[in-house]
Amino acid sequence: MRFGEYPHVGKSPDDHYFVEGDKHSGKKMDDYLLKNTPILTRSIKDTIEPRPTPLLELKNITKNYVDGRGNEIVVLNNISLSINHHEYISIVGPSGGGKSTLLRLIMGLERSTSGDVLFKGEALKGKVSPHTAIVFQSFGLFPWLTVAENVEFGLESAHIAKDDRRKKTLGIIQEVGLEGFENAYPRELSGGMKQRVGIARALVTDPEVLLMDEPFSSLDPLTAQALREEILKVWSNRFTTPDVVIMVTHNVEEAVYLSDRVVVLSARPACVVKEIQIDIPRPREKRDSSIYDYTDQITTLIA
């Protein structure tokens, strides 16, 4: 590895100065390399490319509520997260710990008491993010609308001509395997098909960030497995959105199987206990023993 080829090897601003300065050469550089080799070899991609702005950043997010008796309740306590392009992130933690609140903040459906949500470096400032869409555990479909109408509803606020909307809707319906069910009503659908509609309605807006709140937990285990694979296919396609998936789940094994990184939150008030990088190459096999190792490690952190 030639030193000069990697202008941004360091992690902190001090490191940058140290590396980039011309006067640091010879033995000093060797010392530096020796000292920092673990950082240099950990992620080649990061070191070769100039580090881009993270796609999404949460900066010191705190959220307080006032309950019926006037007591202030801290739900989220100083949460900071940096999410890079093309990451699949899962958030796990005890129930009632504010995981869903965190998703609502990222979506812009709620405002934090303090701290900022930044999308490509720009603060959301309480607006609903146009780059983000959400999939709910309970599907969130309108029973009086057909599949196609439910999906097209995702485009309601977009300024798109009617014909284009239809075209886009039918394209997404095909992509998630709903073709043939366009004029079915939710009550006619199996749970798996209902959640496909939920996913299609989110995808139709071309979101760069797809948020999912316990998306598979109301499905039977086999259907859940089928839909996990479908989501992986959608996310793995780098030519289409979403670029990033952020999923809240209480199923640790599911989080490990799907994610690049698992963020463990504490009980209320939630703070980040640990972020665990899941270094298992894709495509992954559920029988892979390292999935159990990670699952065990993370479960211990929560329990």
Partner 1 sequence: MDIPKVHYSVLLGFLEILDDQGGKSDVARIATKQGLELDNLLPILESGEILGLIEVNAGDVSITEKGHLFIVASPKVRKKMLRDVIINLETFKKLVDLVKTSEKGYVNKSEVLDFVSNQTSSTMNPADDGSNEFDWIVEWGREALILKYDANDENISIR
With respect to partner 1, which residue has the nearer C-beta, 8 or 284? 284
261-265/272-277 β-pairing? antiparallel
With respect to partner 1, which residue has the nearer C-beta, 62 or 223? 223
Q: Which residue has the tokens 């959400």?
A: 134
171 binds partner 1 (CB under 8 A): no
Residues in 1-30 at the binding interface with partner 1, rule: CB under 8 A: none
224 binds partner 1 (CB under 8 A): yes
The kind and range of the H/E element at 100 are helix 99-107
With respect to partner 1, which residue has the nearer C-beta, 79 or 234? 234
293 binds partner 1 (CB under 8 A): no
Beta-carbon contacts of 64 under 8 Å, excluding residues fewer than 6 positions away, are 72, 73, 74, 75, 113
By CB under 8 A, which span of 100-108, 136-144, 243-251, 281-289 interacts with partner 1?
281-289
Query: How far is Cα 137 from Cα 142, in angstroms, rounded to an integer?
Result: 14
Question: Which DSSP string corresponds to 113-178?
Answer: SEEEEEETTEE-TTSPPTTEEEE-TT----TTS-HHHHHHHTTTTS---HHHHHHHHHHHHHHTT-
The kind and range of the H/E element at 16 are helix 13-20
Among 225, 266, 297, 299, binds partner 1 (CB under 8 A): 225
With respect to partner 1, which residue has the nearer C-beta, 94 or 192? 192
With respect to partner 1, which residue has the nearer C-beta, 115 or 177? 177
Residues in 179-208 at the binding interface with partner 1, rule: CB under 8 A: 179-181, 183-185, 188, 190-193, 196
Among 57, 87, 152, 175, binds partner 1 (CB under 8 A): 175
Burial 84-104 (b: 16+ CB within 10 A, else e): beebbbbbbbbeebbbbbbbb
Residues in 100-159 at the binding interface with partner 1, rule: CB under 8 A: none
Size of the site for partner 1 (CB under 8 A): 29
Beta-carbon contacts of 48 under 8 Å, excluding residues fewer than 6 positions away, are 5, 6
With respect to partner 1, which residue has the nearer C-beta, 138 or 174? 174
Q: Applying CB under 8 A, which residues contact partner 1?
A: 174-177, 179-181, 183-185, 188, 190-193, 196, 219-227, 229, 285-287
